[in-house]
């Protein structure tokens, strides 16, 4: 797969339409599912494939997607540092050979994904919203989400995702 089809799938969760209200590049504030003060700490990131950990997912990019009145915050983690904020914000990404991309999003239909497969479910909270581009965006998958993709690189393999997704905030995409 040469494009991150998962971005398109994530956008399918949102209504199709254009938001033409204002050009400000401020970060929309979406209330977290659980208040930030006093909540249990987010568990460390753990992504497993058939029970074996996937290591090296330390390169995160965050984006806020706005579409037809819906706001979704998403962090994508990569096993390399070649993905730019420009590509992340424009929702274009060319899959590198050997690339692993795992993502979590918080909004109207929170979920996680790997490769071209997404799973919309789970207890997912927005733990840190950035004030400006370059700040961290943190999303927490509070309880393990397990699924078996039926297509793509990980077809037929059990994927389990839990923990903190943190990425450099690249900006707001109003599609």
Give the pLDDT confidence of 66-110 residue by residue, as tens digits: 998 899 999 999 999 999 999 999 887 778 888 999 999 999 889
Integer Rg of the chain from CA? 15
Q: pLDDT tens digits, residue range 4-27? A: 333 343 333 333 333 333 433 444
Alpha-carbon torsion 147, 148, 150, 154, what sign? positive
Model confidence band, residue 39 (pLDDT cutoffs 50, 70, 90): low
pLDDT digits (tens, 9 = 90+) for 102-120: 999 999 889 999 988 899 9
Listed in sequence order, the residues at least 6 apart from 81 whose beta carbon sits closer than 8 Å to its beta carbon are: 59
């Amino acid at each position: 797969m040469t494009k991150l089809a998962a971005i398109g799938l994530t956008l399918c969760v949102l209504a199709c339409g254009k938001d033409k209200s204002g050009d400000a590049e401020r970060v929309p504030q979406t209330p977290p599912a659980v208040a930030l003060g006093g909540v249990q700490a987010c568990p460390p990131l753990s992504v497993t494939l058939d029970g074996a950990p996937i290591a090296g997912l330390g390169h995160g990019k965050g984006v806020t997607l706005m579409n037809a009145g819906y706001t979704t915050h998403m962090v994508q983690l990569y096993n390399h540092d070649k993905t730019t904020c420009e590509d992340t914000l424009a929702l274009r990404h060319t899959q590198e050979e050997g690339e692993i991309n795992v993502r979590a999003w918080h909004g109207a239909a929170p979920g996680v994904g790997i490769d071209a497969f997404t799973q919309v479910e789970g207890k997912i909270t927005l733990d840190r919203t950035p004030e400006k581009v370059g700040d961290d965006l943190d999303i927490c998958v509070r309880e393990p989400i397990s699924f078996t993709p039926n297509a793509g690189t990980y077809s037929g393999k059990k994927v389990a995702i839990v923990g903190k997704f943190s990425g450099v905030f690249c900006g707001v995409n109003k599609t």
